[in-house]
Structure 1
Amino acid sequence: MKLYIKPGACSLAPHIALCEAGYDVETIAVDLAAKTLPDGSSYLDVNPRGQVPALALKSGRILTEAAVILQYIADQNPGAHLLPGYGTEDRYFTLAWLNWVSTELHKRFGPLFTPGTSEEAKQAARDGLMQQFAKLEARLVESNYLAQTGYSIADMYCFVVLGWAQHVGLDLSGFPRVLSYQARIAERPAVQQALREEGLL
């Protein structure tokens, strides 16, 4: 499989998942501003939406959207236990957390990374994120990971998004369980591998 990425972006989550699942993956860094690939060709020819991640499947089709790619990777190697099995209640509770990360964390960072966003809109985004971090802190009182079944694709995505806080000046020191959670995930060999491969270590 071939994964189109921007180092440190949400594409890092499926990169981690591929490492956790034991796949050899070719990563291709995309210049998102220019929408170009390293060879100068247009990334829009690969993914007309122009965003990362995009996963090139063996069939030649291109799968997009981080949350969906994560589910696909987990289902290709059930033995890696990245997502509970089809039809189980635990699967849907895990997917609920995955979607929470996508909608309540990831999307709230958007105004903070978008040039031209008003200070009022940025402050609203910061306030909203701090509220969500408080919810995550409360969750981590109950469980070491988002899902009761343990480490999953939801945690991979959450780990990546939490890493953006330092880049936009959000202080997580008031959330000790969140910081411990970040550190615990960062120590995983597959996470270390993905970070190294993206030049982030």
Structure 2
Amino acid sequence: MKLYYSPGACSLASHIILNEINVDFDLERVDLSTHITEKGKDFYSINAKGYVPALEINPGLILTENVAILPFLAQHDPKQDLIPPSGLGRAKVLEWLGYLNSELHDAYAVFFAAKLQLNEEEKQRGYATLDKVLTYIENYLGESDFDYLVNDNFGPADAYLFVLTNWSKVVQHDLSAFKNILALRKKVAVRQSVQIAMRDEGLIP
């Protein structure tokens, strides 16, 4: 398999799960400003949507969108810990991936998609939207008896939440009020799969 990625982008979640399942895979970096890969390919010829992640499963067979890639990869976990094979447990993973993708990812995307720099009023509106979504997750974690989002096992939703909330530093958004989210982030950050992925993408020394 090959993962097309951009450092620190949402493709980092797929990179983490690839490390978790311990399979051989290649990485190819994409410059999202030019849409040219590090090997000189036109990324639009690989993924016409133009954004990462894109997972090449076999030559010419491409899967896109984290909500599809993450459960696809997680089901290859030899320990069967990352995602339940069926039933309500699997549905809860998909529920969280859908929420993170449609609500939290979109809330951060406002800061990255602006053609012009956001003015202070627009920034504050963006922060308010982020806080609203994060407050839901914070309260859920506070009421949950689980170690992670879905159950007591680390899974794709935890990887995705970790990657998205990394962006708070980039957009100068304060996470200090979200103690439960920070606690979960701390657990995720020390995983070997995360450390390796972030090192490979040049995000940490």
* TM-score, with length taken from structure 1: 0.93
- Tell me the secondary structure at the aligned position of residue 56 of structure 1: strand
Q: Tell me which amino acid in the other structure corresponds to 2:98.
A: N
Moved more, 123-132 or 189-198: 123-132
SS at match of 2:27: strand
Amino acid across the alignment from 1:133: L
SS of corresponding position for 1:15: helix
Taking the aligned partners of 1:118 and 1:169, their CA distance within structure 2 comes to: 13
Tell me how far apart the structure 2 counterparts of residues 156 and 200 of structure 1 sit (CA, whole Å): 15
Provide the rounded CA distance (Å) in 2 between the counterparts of 1:6 and 1:91.
28
Q: Is the 8 A contact 1:111 1:121 kept in 2?
A: no
Query: For 1:1-150, what aligned pairs fall within 5 Å after superposition?
Result: 1-58=1-58, 60-77=60-77, 79-86=79-86, 88-114=87-113, 115-116=115-116, 118-119=118-119, 120-141=121-142, 142=144, 143-150=146-153
Q: Which amino acid aligns with 1:72?
A: F
Rounded to whole Å, the distance in 1 between the matches of 2:40 and 2:18 is 26
Matched AA of 1:198: E
The structural deviation recorded for 1:158 is: 0.6
C-alpha distance in 2, partners of 1:58/1:64? Answer: 13
CA distance in 2, matches of 1:134, 1:72: 29
Deviation at 1:128, TM superposition (A): 1.0
Instruction: Find out whether 1:169 has 2:144 as its counterpart.
Output: no
For this pair of structures, how many residues does the alignment match?
200
Letter in 2 for 1:192: Q
Distance 1:155 1:193 in 2: 16
Q: Partner of 1:30: helix, strand, or coil? A: strand
For 2:165 and 2:34, locate their aligned partners in 1 and report how far apart those are by CA, in whole Å.
26
**TM-superposed deviation, 1:8:** 0.3
**TM-score where L is the length of structure 2:** 0.92
1:18 and 1:160 mapped to 2: Cα distance?
14
C-alpha separation between the residues in 2 aligned to 1:82 and 1:185?
A: 13
- Distance of 1:173 and 1:97 partners within structure 2: 22
Looking at structure 2, the residues matched to 92 and 25 of structure 1 have their Cα atoms a distance apart, in angstroms, of: 27
Q: Which residue of 2 aligns with 1:181?
A: 184
The percent identity for this pair of structures is: 37
**What value does the CA root-mean-square deviation take over the aligned residues?**
1.5
Instruction: Give the Cα separation in 1 of the matches to 2:8 and 2:132.
Output: 23
Give how far 1:196 is off. 1.1
Q: Which runs of 5+ in 2 are unaligned?
A: none
Contact 2:81–2:153 (CA<8 Å) still a contact in 1? no
Q: Which amino acid in 1 is paired with 2:107?
A: R
What one-letter code is carried by the residue in structure 2 that aligns with 1:154? A
Q: Quick one: which amino acid aligns to residue 102 of structure 1?
A: N
Segment of structure 1 superposing worse, 178-187 or 142-151:
142-151
Q: 2 CA distance for matches of 1:20 and 1:73?
A: 9
CA contact 2:3–2:26 (8 Å) conserved in 1: yes
Structure 1: stretches of 5+ with no match in the other structure: none
Residue 15 of structure 1 aligns to which amino acid in structure 2?
A: H
Counterpart of 1:106 in structure 2: which amino acid? H
